[in-house]
Structure 1
C-alpha cells in the first residue's frame, strides 16, 4: 500500500457517499411527485377528498384501496367513495399501481403522508398533500404562535423534528426577531398532532427541489439535515 492509497480510498468513499445522497434526493423527489400526481387525479374527480384508506401487503409491497374520505371543519369524517365498489370516474387499479410504486420502498418519502388507521386493523390512511405545503405549515404554526416566521427543522431522523420557532418581535419596529422558543419535552411548541402534520409537510418540501430552494436554508451541511424553514407571510398564503 502506497502513501497515497488512504487518500484515494477516502476520496472514493467521499464520491460514493455523494452519489448515494444525490440518488436518494432524486428518488424522494420522484416518490413525492407520484404522490402529488395521484392526489391531483383524485381531487379532479372528488374535490373534497382529504384522505384515503388502503391495505398494504408487506410481502408483495402491493396495496388495495378501500375508500376516499373528507374531513370537515369540525373534524367529522364522511366517506366519499367506497373504493371496493369501483367508480367510472377513476381508474382505481391504476391509482393503486401508482401508489404501490411510490410506497414500494419502506423508506420512501411518500410514507411520510401515511399513518395507521385507528379503527381498521391492517389498514393505513394516506393524507392527500396540501396544494400549498408551506402555507399550511404557516397556518398550523400560527394557530399557536401568531407571529411565527421561522422554524428550525432537524431532518436527521424520520419523522423530522421541529427544534425551535422564531417569531417577529412585535414590541420592536422593523424586522426584529424575538428570542427563539425551543421545543422541550415538558414544553412542546404545539400538540403532538400539529407536530406530526408540520413534520410531514416539511419532509415533503425538502423532497421537492423547487420548494426546497424556496423555503429551506441548510444550516449544518449541504445535505440540509438541519435547516431553517421560512414561513410565508399571511399575505402570501
Structure 2
C-alpha cells in the first residue's frame, strides 16, 4: 500500500515553491530570448543599431518606443539617432509595433535579466531610457572584454549563485604542476558590470549555458562554472 501523506499541506507548499522557481527560470529565459529576437530583427534592418530608446511610465510599467540609436562617434558626442518613430521612410518603421511590444515583454517582470541592459540617457533632459542591444555572440564578446585586461586568458570562472552570475576568477594558462592558473579579475567597475550582465543573460538561457559552460574542477556544490573563452582577433 502507498503510505499515507502525513503532511499534505507541507507537501503542496514545497511543490508550489518548486513550480514557482521553475516558472521564474522559464520567465527569465523567455525575456532574454525575446530581447535577442528583436535585436536580430533590428540589426537586420539597421546593422549600426546599439540601443532602443523609449519613454517609461514606472507607475503603469508602460514602454513607449521613441526610436533606435547607435554608438557614440566620439567621447564628447551624444548617441546618434539612427531612426526616430514617426519617420516612415526608414526600414525600421515597419517594425515599430513589434519593437515596442517586445521591449515591453522583456522588461515586464521586475527580475527580468533584460533590466540589467537598461539605463537612463543622461544626455537627455526628457523621459528617455535606453535598452542596450545584446551582442550576437555573448561568449565572444565576453572573451574580447576579458582579454582587454587579461591578454593570456583562456577561460573565466563563474559563480552561478552570486547575483545572477559573476566572474570571480580568470584562467591564464596552467601552473607548473598542470593546474589552472587562476587569477583575480583586474578590470574596472564598468567592465565588471558589463561582463556580469552578459553572464547573467547567458545563465538565463539553459540550453545555451549547457553548451557553453562546464562545471569547474573541485566544485562539489555545482555553483562554480567554467566558460572557455573562444579565440578573438
State the TM-score, normalizing by the size of structure 2. Answer: 0.80
Q: Output the CA distance in 1 between the equivalents of 2:132 and 2:143.
A: 18
Query: Does 1:136 pair with 2:137?
Result: no
Report the CA distance shift for 1:32/1:220 in structure 2 as closer, same or farther (over 3 A).
farther
Query: Does 1:106 pair with 2:110?
Result: yes
Matches within 5 A, 1:59-98: 59-71=59-71, 77-90=79-92, 91-98=95-102
Q: Output the CA distance in 2 between the equivalents of 1:82 and 1:50.
A: 14
Residue 5 of structure 1: aligned partner: 6
Q: Structure 2: any 5+ residue segments left out of the alignment? A: none
Q: Structure 1: any 5+ residue segments left out of the alignment? A: 184-188
Q: Deviations over 1:84-136 (max 9, x none)?
A: 54555233123112211221112112212222222225422111111110110
Matches within 5 A, 1:1-237: 5=6, 11-71=11-71, 77-90=79-92, 91-121=95-125, 122-156=127-161, 158=163, 160-169=165-174, 172=176, 176-178=179-181, 180-182=182-184, 189-217=186-214, 219=219, 226-234=223-231
Q: Output the CA distance in 1 between the equivalents of 2:20 and 2:9.
A: 16
Q: Output the CA distance in 1 between the equivalents of 2:62 and 2:89.
A: 20
- Give the CA RMSD over aligned residues: 2.9
Paired residues of 1:65 and 1:84 also in contact (CA < 8 A): no
1:4 Cα offset (Å) = 6.5
**Corresponding residue pairs, total:** 222
Give 3-state SS (helix, strand or coil) of 2:68's partner: strand
Paired residues of 1:114 and 1:126 also in contact (CA < 8 A): yes
Q: Output the CA distance in 1 between the equivalents of 2:136 and 2:72.
A: 17
State the TM-score, normalizing by the size of structure 1. Answer: 0.79
Q: Output the CA distance in 1 between the equivalents of 2:158 and 2:32.
A: 19
Report the CA distance shift for 1:45/1:192 in structure 2 as closer, same or farther (over 3 A).
same
* Larger mean Cα displacement after TM superposition, 115-124 or 66-75: 66-75
1:198 Cα offset (Å) = 0.6
Report the CA distance shift for 1:84/1:231 in structure 2 as closer, same or farther (over 3 A).
farther
Paired residues of 2:69 and 2:83 also in contact (CA < 8 A): yes
* Larger mean Cα displacement after TM superposition, 150-159 or 129-138: 150-159
Report the CA distance shift for 1:151/1:14 in structure 2 as closer, same or farther (over 3 A).
farther
Paired residues of 1:112 and 1:159 also in contact (CA < 8 A): no
